Amino acid sequence: MRLCLGYDDVHPFSKVNISDRASVQELLRTVLDPLEPFFSPQKARVNCPGATAVRFDQAASEVEGICRPLWGLSCLLAGGGEFHGAEWWIQGIKSGTDPENPEYWGYPRDNDQRMVEMCPLGFSLAIAPDFWNNFSEKERANVEAWLGNSINEKNMPNTNWLWFRVFANLGLKKNGGKYSQERLDKDIEHLNTFYRGDGWSNDGPEGIHQMDYYSSSFAIQILQLMYAKIAGDDDPERAAEFKKRAQQMALDLVHYWDDEGRAIPYGRSVGYRFAMVSFWSTLAFADVELPAPLTWGMVKGIVLRNLRWWQTQNAMWTPSGTLSLGYSYPSMYEQITENYNSPGSPYWACLAFVCLAAPDSHPFWTSKEELPGDAFPKIKALKHPGHIMSYLGGHCMLLSSGQACSYPMKGTHAKYGGFAYSSAYGYSVPPGLFSLEQYALASQLGLSDDGGEYWKTRRLCEYAAIEQRDEKPVLVSVWRPFPDVKIKTVLVPPEEATPNWHIRAHRIESGREVMTADGSFAIRNVNAENGRYLEAYDTTKCEGTSPIIVGNYDLATPAGWAAGSTGAFAVSAGAVGIKALEPETKRQAMLVNADPNSNLIESRTTIPTLQHTISKGETVWYVTGIYAKPSGEGVAKESYLDGWDAPPAVPAWLADEMSS
């Protein structure tokens, strides 16, 4: 039955009362059901709504549409659950792997997207007997030829993709099919060269520093755990090592989720949405022994709270009930998505449901949900990803320096090069490349040498490291937006005394005249009264901005500017703001009315920003205080600005560095 969501309709996903295994099974069914009308006649392909073109062919896009939901469906079936449409996928695999069928998927070429989709298929064959047992001998031979023979002879990217070939072979191996143990072993041996320590693997070889959700929940870490579960009896040494890595990494990853259930969006492919939580779900599937102080109640809480938060994101669905491209809402310009995100791509999100393969008796299901509470430090430096994590001030936040995608994808500077990433506010990506409004420099420092038309930000660093100041961690990076402009940036996490503030300091040596724009987090630019843009701050409504938002491109209006030491703030879904903390600052504060659809979470945002112009040959120090207090359960709107008038002082060690 085709689902059609009207003006006031709520997706069935949001109506499930998530509490136990049965409710999570039902939640998955609400994700799978709307796909029914989009299956091809022979069920081999799923053409999800949206005419978006991607870097691979349309057939591969539709193979994504059928294979990615298998992450959830196979775990539902493996755990004894039922789905009325399971036969669609069984028939689709038969048709798609049959060279004589008009809907045949086609053999993959080198670096073919079809190789990615072989991973959920191989995993499904390994854990859910319903698939292989429903194939005839000829159909099994077709699956062997498509899944095994074709991928083992092809070149693959030197990244997490190599795990996909492991699972293509593993799925066949578990069913007595033809596979290559030699290929499987070589790929795992090479993947182990990506390992950096303390549980963390890089998404690529030496020379690349990219540790985003692909290192944990989207690929490497979860596939290691799945391998440990499926192949552990045959390969106990590797299984033990992979579980050990998960135990180590769990104590770091716990810092990426807040008590509201939100994950910190960071890096690419965040359009996979609740797949972010699949690491925790896979801990249950693989039956990992948890490291203290982590408990199964905490793990269960992270997973279920995250799914509940996604239930509040009602705009993420298409009118047909399928997942859209985007994050909290459809991405109009697709700058938030990648050039490999087809309309079927978001169904990698079904990885979140791997926990359904764990039995009802597993402590993941029998434990009472818990919050991490004070069991973990509020500030923690993570050596390998180059992050300093903070859980002060009502949101999880990470400070970041040094990571970069191995190729210049859309918005890569915003997805990896930003200074801070928040579970409450999300990052912003430019929908255009002309003026500050389009660049949407949230948590970024932009520099322009042409009067403010084009802006350069941090993407690659010459140096990046966690250092110590007064026995506390800070992040130091050196980067060049232009060849003759050198910037040293120091990121300082919040303190208990000023939990809603963090500091970033920049020493800028400029060989040319440049304008600068230093942005805070982006916040919802919608008032609660009538849905229009925010106006001047109203103390009775606890909403608005200071100074006022003067409108796009109208930068000369005096009312829209304030002294840098006075700063700029915006209050709606909580409060964000920015102040210049350096002595005798020459910077000015204002609000950038960011172009719509530039932020992951809010479609309309404003960004408190500090601006200044540096002369050619000048060296300056900026010390920027960033304020953030999100809304949340039990947070009164009257308290949003409680800390605004008491920013942190410039640390003594920083004052010494500035003077020297």
Q: Is the pLDDT of residue 7 over 90?
A: no
**Peptide bond before residue 293 is cis, with ω within 30 degrees of 0:** yes
- Is residue 643 very low, low, confident or very high in pLDDT (cuts 50, 70, 90)? very high
* Mean pLDDT along residues 422-439: 94
**pLDDT, mean over the chain:** 95
- The token duo for 378 is 């509020």
- Is residue 409 very low, low, confident or very high in pLDDT (cuts 50, 70, 90)? confident
User: 597 in the Ramachandran plot: left (φ > 0), alpha (ψ -120 to 50) or beta?
Assistant: left
Beta strands in 58-128, from DSSP E residues, in sequence order: none
Q: Is the pLDDT of residue 335 over 90?
A: no
As a whole number of angstroms, the distance between CA 507 and CA 623 comes to: 9
* Secondary structure tally for the chain: helices H, strands E: 18, 20
- Is residue 555 very low, low, confident or very high in pLDDT (cuts 50, 70, 90)? low
pLDDT value at residue 583: 95
Q: Is the pLDDT of residue 53 over 90?
A: no
Three state DSSP letters for 480-506: EEECCEEEEEEEECCECCECCEEEEEE
Pick the range with the lowest mean pLDDT from 412-426, 463-477, 551-565.
551-565
Q: Give residue-wise pLDDT tens across range 570-624.
A: 999 999 999 999 999 999 999 999 999 999 999 999 999 999 999 999 999 999 9
* Phi, psi torsion values for 187, nearest 5 degrees: -65, -45
N- to C-terminal Cα separation, the chain: 71
pLDDT value at residue 552: 63
Q: Is the pLDDT of residue 204 over 70?
A: yes
Strand partners for 574: 572, 630
pLDDT value at residue 3: 79
Q: Is the pLDDT of residue 626 over 60?
A: yes
- Three-state DSSP class for 145? helix
Q: In what order do the strands lie in the sheet with 420-422?
A: 379-382, 387-390, 397-400, 420-422
- Is residue 378 very low, low, confident or very high in pLDDT (cuts 50, 70, 90)? very high
